[in-house]
Amino acid sequence: MKFPEKLKEVLMELETERNLKGLNIEVQPSGGGRFVAVVRSPSFEEIPEYLRQDLVWEKILEKLNDYEQRLVEFVHTLAPPDEEADSEPPPSRKKPSRRR
């Protein structure tokens, strides 16, 4: 099993262990042989960001060896409102009118 699949499998355990509904995980290469995981769940709406991070990193530290842990560069833990905020375009700034 390749590392991205292993990381996804490890993080999927959170769905039943922590009762995270609709858990969706993507693992993407970030360069240099390292990976970024994006963990999404509607259940994260009720959990502060720092606790989400504690959940995923506790699982990574529990299930992966030291070498594999170093392959994980970052884990995003997103709830639906987090993604909506990221996808909204920034407010447009009007150009100041030129004086004549």
pLDDT digits (tens, 9 = 90+) for 41-99: 999 999 999 999 999 999 999 999 999 999 999 999 999 988 766 555 555 555 555 66
Using an 8 Å Cβ cutoff, are 29 and 23 in contact?
A: no
Question: Which amino acid, 49?
Answer: E
pTM: 0.81
Strand 72-78 with 34-40, pairing: parallel
> Which fold would CATH assign to domain 3-83?
GMP Synthetase; Chain A, domain 3 (3.30.300)
97: helix, strand or coil = coil
